[in-house]
Amino acid sequence: MLPTRGVHLTAQSCHDRTILFLILALGVSLAGAAPPNMVFILADDLGCYGQKLIQTPNIDCMTADRMKFTHFYAGGSVSSSQAVLMDGWRKAIRTGSATTPIDLYALATMARLSPSRTLCSYRNHPIGGRHAMNRKEFLKLYAGIVGGLSIPGVLGESASAAETASVKGIALDESYLVKGLTAMVRASTWFPAHWGAGILAGYYLCRDNALGEETTLGIQKQLDAAIASQPEQFAPLPDEPADKALIEEVPKALLPAMQGGLRAHGHAVIFASLSIKAMGDAPHMARPSFIKALCGLSRQIAKHAPQRPTGSETSYADTQTMIDALFDSLARFEPLLGRPSIRRPNFTHMVTHTEALMNLEMMGYADLARAGHPGHHAHIGAPVPAIDPSLPPAAENVSLETVMSKDYWADPKNQERWNHKFAIPNNPNGDWIASGHLFKVLYSYHRLIGRVKDKEKVKLCSQILLERYINPDVQGG
């Protein structure tokens, strides 16, 4: 068994926009001391090296009291750096993977290494090139090594399945992408598109998070039930040739629905963000008729009159500031906890709207994401309702861990509510919280909490956001 004591080294690579982690568990003999573990991390775009746009708080924290290389040479491409670091073969730096099949070389080198020296990489962006391991494979191994070495500042002592969104979960098959996109395309107006968006979000919720097998199977069961409840919405459409280049029409059609303020609680942004992501993962679905229908959803919403921000602030310095603003806004509503009769603002769509804007930037549409800042300001600026202080709040047992537990998804009372029609006041938690919001809010929230350093605030906001998903008597939210 490897000792838990370790040395951690970080270095900055010159390859842009792609993060490459190289993890080596090395036995290094030191006189008079047990062999330590050494973890070497080679990465791009780190805040501790001056990067302003991309947030890397965990690695930045690790470098505060550990060794950081400031004069470190790396090859111009990821696989080249990977291969050179493994055995120092300089030809990889001279030629680069553009002219040499470095991936094959890297794989061959990995095969020669002993099991005690493990190196792996993952792709962070779809145009970042090919690597020896895909993201899913890397993160599984990364989590195992980091957990085994007990590296401080990475997963943290209080990390849970709900908080470690970087660790991959059990993936559902890609048929859910096909079904989700199909249901969005079949929507005659923008509201029924919720069903398809919910299935896409449920797929990514399970794929991108370490939820545990029973929880994942519980979510999958409800996704399947939602699909079965809307057979016409999810019925397959005729096949046609796909053209991945057409995906760019979707963000173009989105802009008019974002300009001037908030429309339809940000649904144009939410739908476009999810569909662009899904077609990127399933390019065979980028069919002309699908693109036309998805653009049509944004055009419908663009006809709505915008809700403009009430304050003077209409933009954010960056996406992280926007995310922090969301959590600051949610925290204002703490007095409502335990008072279900007081109607809440639309917390669910505040969260899904924020994640959609973040995702647009991550997919390379930074200008488009910034165009959504005024609408976001309008969205999270809802006032806190008046509260009668003479009425004490009821105790509520609400947490993200509760909602992500296998018991929550297996609860017969929950399933009874979800599987029946949404109706106020009889069944406000019906139809999977009205057409799939249960899946969308959890997917979005898991993506956002990884960007928030204050874990106590995350716990508070989890209570505020998820109270209505546990207690059907909660009004609004």
> Which tens digits make up the pLDDT trace of 385-422?
998 878 788 877 789 999 999 999 999 988 888 877 76
pLDDT for res 82? 58
Please, are residues 326 and 381 in contact by the beta-carbon 8 Å criterion? no
Which residue type sits at 319? Answer: T
Do 278 and 324 reside in the same domain of the chain? Answer: yes
* 68-122 residue pLDDT tens: 766 655 555 555 565 555 545 444 444 443 333 334 444 444 444 433 333 443 3
* 22-34 residue pLDDT tens: 444 334 444 455 6
Please give the model's pTM, rounded to 2 decimal places.
0.68
**Distance between CA atoms of residues 347 and 350, nearest Å:** 5
**Distance between CA atoms of residues 86 and 22, nearest Å:** 9
Do 374 and 312 reside in the same domain of the chain? Answer: yes
Tell me if 98 is assigned to some domain. yes
Tell me if 162 is assigned to some domain. no
Domain boundary pick from 149, 180, 197: 149
pLDDT for res 107? 41
**Distance between CA atoms of residues 444 and 447, nearest Å:** 5
- Structure tokens, 411: 């609860």
In a 13 Å sphere around the CA of 327, the CA atoms on its Cβ side amount to 22
Residues 6+ apart with CB under 8 A from 448: 323, 326, 327, 351, 354, 355, 358
pLDDT for res 169? 53
Tell me if 156 is assigned to some domain. no
pLDDT for res 73? 55
pLDDT for res 121? 39
Do 363 and 465 reside in the same domain of the chain? Answer: yes
Do 14 and 120 reside in the same domain of the chain? Answer: yes
Tell me if 1 is assigned to some domain. no
Do 220 and 354 reside in the same domain of the chain? Answer: yes
pLDDT for res 360? 95
- Structure tokens, 237: 């459409």
Q: Whole domain around residue 89: which residue ranges?
A: 6-149
Do 463 and 426 reside in the same domain of the chain? Answer: yes
Do 81 and 220 reside in the same domain of the chain? Answer: no
pLDDT for res 135? 43
Tell me if 159 is assigned to some domain. no
In a 13 Å sphere around the CA of 304, the CA atoms on its Cβ side amount to 20
Do 393 and 245 reside in the same domain of the chain? Answer: yes
Do 113 and 224 reside in the same domain of the chain? Answer: no
Domain boundary pick from 114, 149, 184: 149
Domains in the chain, number: 2
Do 243 and 294 reside in the same domain of the chain? Answer: yes
pLDDT for res 142? 46
> Which residues of the chain fall short of a pLDDT of 50?
1-8, 11-31, 87, 89-136, 138-140, 142-143, 145-167
